[in-house]
């Protein structure tokens, strides 16, 4: 089985309980989370050997974040200590017709002010098979971008594969800046996790066909083929979300291997917490890939992993791989094939 190491920021999340609003809430529930950290936790839960790289302040909050990761079996030995603070984000969970809200307080976090020289990159990466990171880490600061690029280039030198989730956040950077920096690293990427808006808005790649529900797979296949003509990805992986309300969505996974497009089962899910569902999807796909499974299994594990995360509070999924497998193997629970 392939071993996976992730690079990114772990943050402190503060949320009003019971889907309350910020205004009037007398308390906040605290959790830890962040894109690549969530992927690492899910992979560890699924039985994949996983590590997480970041920089955290040398205080009790940094200690607590590391304890959170270790409690799930994530290898934290390469986490660098130093800097002034852990990034924070405030989440107000939406419900029904009320949307969720996010407020970031992550400026000058330890990882965003870290330097490439803080990390013994070759030593950290040796012995691992896949490096996973996302556009969030590229976008938190110019330092974050330089660290990400240094890790990616060294990973390729060592013969590792690169998994990259576009994970665009408009509160971190503009589409123009994201496009410029993401394009610098795409030549190294083997597995790309991206939605159609990432390709159209960030890379400027527009399919001939319009986006229509009646032929949504045709739209994606046209888009994927145009992307594949420019970038040599082994897999392009996306999800299709039909938002009925803030608390009810349908969800489907799709994947393109350069020749054929694959589609998972489609599920309708009532939502407790949507945050981290994309990370659970990514982790499910990387789990199947690391295990050497075929694409049908891998894509269905990814989709079921994400669907189940919608039912769990906090950033991370708490499922085990057998629970994920039971969902997509049980035909009575899916909406359609």
How many H-runs (helices) and E-runs (strands) does the chain carry?
11, 14
Strands 161-165, 11-15: parallel, antiparallel or unpaired by DSSP?
unpaired
Residues 170, 254: Cα–Cα separation, whole Å = 24
Per residue in 304-326, pLDDT (tens digit) is: 999 999 999 999 999 999 999 99
| CA dist list (Å): 155 to 109, 159, 163, 170 | 25, 6, 11, 28
Q: Which pLDDT value is given to residue 25?
A: 85
pTM: 0.94
The helix (run of H) or strand (run of E) holding residue 184 is helix 175-185
- Closest to 197 measured CA to CA, from 215, 179, 171: 179
Q: Which pLDDT value is given to residue 246?
A: 85
178 contact partners, CB below 8 Å, separation of at least 6: 135, 138, 139, 168, 202
Write down the residue that tokens 């990159």 correspond to: 121
The helix (run of H) or strand (run of E) holding residue 193 is strand 191-193
Residues 320, 207: Cα–Cα separation, whole Å = 38
Range of the domain at 231: 4-333
Q: What angle do CA 146, 147, 151 make, to 5 degrees?
A: 115
**Cβ 225 vs Cβ 289: under 8 Å:** no
From the CB of residue 315, how many other CB atoms can be counted at a distance below 10 Å? 26
Residues 65, 268: Cα–Cα separation, whole Å = 33
Per residue in 59-116, pLDDT (tens digit) is: 999 999 999 999 999 999 999 999 999 999 998 888 888 888 889 999 999 999 999 9
Using DSSP's 3-state secondary structure scheme, residue 11 falls into: strand
Residues 171, 169: Cα–Cα separation, whole Å = 5
Q: How far apart are the first and last CA of the chain?
A: 29
**Cβ 176 vs Cβ 289: under 8 Å:** no
Structure tokens at 42: 């899910």
- The 8-class DSSP code of residue 215 comes to G
Residues 66, 85: Cα–Cα separation, whole Å = 14
Q: Which pLDDT value is given to residue 216?
A: 85
Structure tokens at 295: 């694409």
Per-block mean pLDDT, blocks of 10 residues, the chain (337 long)? 98 90 88 96 98 98 97 98 96 85 93 98 98 97 98 98 96 95 98 95 88 81 94 97 91 96 95 93 98 97 97 94 93 47
- Here the CATH number for the domain that contains residue 326 is 3.40.1190.20
Write down the residue that tokens 């400027």 correspond to: 204
* Edge-to-edge strand ranges of the sheet holding 101-105: 29-33, 11-15, 88-92, 101-105
How many domains in the chain? 1
| CA dist list (Å): 305 to 42, 124, 285, 311 | 9, 28, 9, 11
Phi, psi dihedral angles at 212 (to 5 degrees): -135, 140
Q: What angle do CA 196, 201, 204 make, to 5 degrees?
A: 95
Q: Which pLDDT value is given to residue 213?
A: 66
Longest CA–CA separation in the chain, Å? 54
Q: Which pLDDT value is given to residue 331?
A: 54
**Cβ 161 vs Cβ 4: under 8 Å:** no
């Amino acid at each position: 089985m392939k071993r996976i190491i992730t690079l990114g920021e772990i943050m402190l999340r503060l949320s009003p309980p019971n889907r309350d609003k910020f205004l009037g809430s007398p308390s906040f529930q605290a959790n830890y989370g962040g894109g690549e950290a969530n992927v690492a936790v899910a992979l560890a839960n699924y039985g994949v050997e996983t590590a997480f790289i970041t920089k955290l302040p040398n205080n009790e909050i940094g200690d607590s974040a590391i304890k959170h990761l270790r409690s799930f079996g994530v290898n934290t030995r390469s986490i660098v200590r130093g800097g002034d603070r852990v990034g924070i984000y405030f989440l107000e969970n939406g419900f029904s017709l009320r949307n969720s809200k996010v407020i970031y307080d992550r400026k000058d976090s330890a990882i965003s002010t870290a330097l490439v020289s803080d990390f013994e990159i070759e030593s950290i990466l040796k012995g691992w098979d896949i490096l996973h990171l996302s556009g969030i880490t590229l976008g938190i600061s110019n330092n974050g971008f330089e660290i990400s690029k240094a890790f990616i280039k060294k990973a390729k030198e060592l013969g590792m594969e690169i998994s990259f989730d576009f994970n665009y956040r408009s509160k971190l950077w503009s589409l123009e800046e994201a496009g410029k920096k993401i394009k610098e690293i795409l030549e190294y990427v083997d597995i790309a996790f991206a939605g159609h808006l990432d390709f159209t808005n960030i890379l400027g790649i527009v399919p001939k066909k319009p986006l229509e529900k009646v032929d949504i797979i045709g739209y994606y296949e046209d888009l994927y083929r145009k992307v594949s003509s420019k970038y040599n990805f082994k897999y392009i992986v996306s999800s299709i979300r039909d938002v009925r309300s803030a608390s009810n969505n349908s969800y489907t996974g799709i994947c393109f291997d350069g020749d054929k497009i694959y589609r998972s089962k489609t599920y309708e899910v009532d939502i407790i917490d949507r945050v981290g569902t994309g990370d659970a999807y990514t982790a499910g796909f990387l789990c199947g890939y690391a295990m050497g499974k075929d694409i049908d299994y891998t894509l269905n594990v990814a989709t079921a992993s994400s669907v189940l995360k919608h039912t769990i509070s906090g950033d991370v999924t708490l499922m085990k791989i057998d629970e994920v497998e039971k969902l997509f193997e049980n035909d009575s629970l899916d909406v359609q094939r």
